[in-house]
């Protein structure tokens, strides 16, 4: 029997405040028509002063633990993916650990921006299959609203805040993470980045993006990495029940699915409700589709994401 990391619970948490395109258009030179036509986004959630990456992450983790029926004390690994930590250090993972009342486990953050959850999931999978951990919380949590330039209409309309989490448990059998693939190409740092940081400006910086160039790379890289993981798993496209993609732009989701020959009703879409929540978007979409009964135990789901760096990755999971 093969030891695998099985998703035994999912959870998510959104800031209370939901902002429509029309509300944004009151302060930014944009329109509901432009945003919907170019991105598919209708709403995003924006964190209030008391809501942070760690509080949202902890709320999503509590939901995932409840869904799994597992007590927080049984967790021996927490990996939190974020580009918007509460502080430069300590890690937001250790803040979540404290909020959950776990006194001793491995806890660290992963920084791979929008691909962060795929990176975190792959590391957790490697630690579980190697025996270094038995039960892991893998969280994607972001408060991107804090690093947006609210005068730059080309970026500020695209992002939102939120968190998603999964509980992974070591089990013997067919279910679980079948394969993962990760990539990065740092030559493209300047197409999607933050114009500040502790070691350069001593400030946090704001998001900058050359959107149309990112778009082009996204479709090519995502289609390639999805093909790669499906082949590595010894499966074909016909074996895939669901795609749970990073939610950046509806046009990217459609183009990538088309390139692989997947039907659009196999693609989980939440970008209309949440906009781009960076590292949170994949676990958030997964949680919604598990909770509404679309994704069922035993089905095959492909998770994928691409973000700043560039970084990109995918995973094949038998749920
Ligand atoms: O999560 C990480 C990965 N990120 C992504 O995958 C994002 C990838 N990129 C995209 O999703 C798209 O490129 C965008 C949605 C960012 C932009 O769509 P686009 O079709 O590539 O538009 P564009 O950047 O080429 O801009 C077209 C026009 C420009 O006007 P001109 O120069 O043609 O007159 C922009 O100034 O749209 C204008 N524009 C806007 N107009 C109204 C840009 N932002 C806005 C806005 N409202 N918010």
pLDDT digits (tens, 9 = 90+) for 14-27: 999 999 999 999 99
The burial class, CB within 10 Å (0-12 / 13-18 / 19+), for 44 is buried
Are residues 182 and 169 part of one domain?
no
Are residues 148 and 135 part of one domain?
yes
Q: Which of 136, 151, 173 is the last residue of a domain?
A: 173
Question: Considering the chain, what is the average pLDDT of its residues?
Answer: 97
Are residues 154 and 109 part of one domain?
yes
| pLDDT average, residue stretch 54-77 | 98
| pLDDT average, residue stretch 245-255 | 96
Residues 192, 265: Cα–Cα separation, whole Å: 30
Q: Does the pLDDT at position 227 exceed 90?
A: yes
Are residues 164 and 278 part of one domain?
no
Q: Is any atom of ligand 1 closer than 6 Å to the C-beta of 249?
A: yes
Query: Nearest 5°: phi and psi at 139?
Result: -125, 140
Q: Does the pLDDT at position 1 exceed 90?
A: no
pTM of the model: 0.98
8 Å CB contact between 100 and 74:
no
Give 161's strand partners. Answer: 143
Are residues 165 and 19 part of one domain?
yes
Are residues 252 and 140 part of one domain?
no
| pLDDT (0 to 100) of residue 292 | 98
Strands 17-20 and 43-46, by their bridges, are: antiparallel
Domain count, the chain: 2
Give the model confidence (pLDDT) of 179-224 as tens digits.
999 999 999 999 999 999 999 999 999 999 999 999 999 999 999 9
Residue 245 structure tokens? 């993609």
Q: How far is the CA of 217 from the centre of ligand 1 (A)?
A: 15
Orientation of helix 53-68 relative to helix 281-291, angle to 10°: 30
| pLDDT (0 to 100) of residue 253 | 95
Please give the positions annotated as active site.
Answer: 114, 246, 276
Cβ contacts of residue 154 below 8 Å, gap of 6+?
209, 211
| pLDDT (0 to 100) of residue 221 | 97
Which residue of 36, 147, 208, 212 sits with most ligand 1 atoms within 8 Å of its CB, as the best mutation to test the pocket? 212
Which residue of 211, 254, 307 sits with most ligand 1 atoms within 8 Å of its CB, as the best mutation to test the pocket? 211
Give the model confidence (pLDDT) of 116-172 as tens digits.
999 999 999 999 999 999 999 999 999 999 999 999 999 999 999 999 999 999 999
Q: Does the pLDDT at position 175 exceed 90?
A: yes
Q: Which of 151, 173, 195 is the last residue of a domain?
A: 173
Are residues 295 and 205 part of one domain?
yes
Q: Which of 173, 204, 234 is the last residue of a domain?
A: 173
| pLDDT (0 to 100) of residue 157 | 98
Q: How far is the CA of 270 from the centre of ligand 1 (A)?
A: 19
| pLDDT (0 to 100) of residue 261 | 93
Q: Does the pLDDT at position 238 exceed 90?
A: yes
CA angle 46/48/54 to nearest 5° reads: 90
| pLDDT (0 to 100) of residue 189 | 98
Query: Nearest 5°: phi and psi at 159?
Result: -110, 160
Are residues 45 and 144 part of one domain?
yes
Give the model confidence (pLDDT) of 262-299 as tens digits.
999 999 999 999 999 999 999 999 999 999 999 999 99
Are residues 203 and 166 part of one domain?
no
CA atoms within 13 A on the CB side of 129: 18
Range of the domain at 37: 3-173
Q: Is any atom of ligand 1 closer than 6 Å to the C-beta of 43?
A: no
Output the domain CATH number for residue 122.
Answer: 3.40.47.10
Nearest CA to ligand 1 atom 12: 211
| pLDDT (0 to 100) of residue 134 | 98
């Amino acid at each position: 029997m093969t030891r695998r990391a099985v998703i035994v619970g999912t959870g998510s948490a959104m800031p209370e405040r939901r902002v429509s395109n029309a509300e944004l258009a009151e302060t930014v030179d944009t329109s509901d028509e432009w945003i919907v036509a170019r991105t598919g986004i209708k709403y995003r959630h924006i964190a209030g002063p008391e809501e942070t990456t760690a509080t949202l992450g902890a709320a999503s983790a509590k939901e995932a633990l409840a869904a799994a029926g597992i007590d927080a004390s049984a967790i021996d690994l927490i990996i939190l993916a974020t580009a918007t930590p509460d502080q430069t250090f300590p890690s937001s993972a250790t803040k979540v650990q404290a909020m959950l009342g776990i006194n001793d486990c491995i806890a660290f953050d992963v920084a791979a921006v929008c691909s962060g959850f795929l990176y975190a999931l792959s590391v957790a999978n490697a630690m579980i299959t190697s025996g270094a951990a038995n039960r892991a919380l893998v969280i994607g949590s972001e408060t991107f609203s804090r690093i947006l330039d609210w005068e730059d209409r080309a970026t500020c309309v695209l992002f939102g805040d939120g968190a998603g989490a999964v509980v992974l448990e070591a089990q013997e059998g067919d279910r679980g993470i079948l394969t993962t693939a990760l990539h990065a190409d740092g030559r493209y740092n300047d197409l999607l980045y933050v114009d500040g940081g502790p070691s350069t400006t001593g400030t946090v910086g704001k998001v900058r993006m050359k959107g149309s160039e990112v778009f082009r790379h996204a479709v090519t890289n995502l289609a390639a990495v999805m093909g790669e993981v499906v082949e590595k798993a010894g499966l074909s496209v016909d074996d895939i029940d669901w795609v749970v993609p990073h939610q950046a732009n509806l046009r990217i989701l459609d183009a990538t699915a088309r390139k692989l020959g997947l039907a659009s009703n196999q693609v989980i879409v939440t970008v209309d409700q949440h906009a781009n929540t960076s590292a949170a978007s994949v676990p958030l979409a997964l949680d919604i589709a598990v909770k509404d009964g679309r994704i069922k135990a035993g089905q095959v789901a492909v998770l994928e994401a691409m973000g700043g760096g560039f970084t990109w990755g995918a995973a094949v999971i038998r749920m």
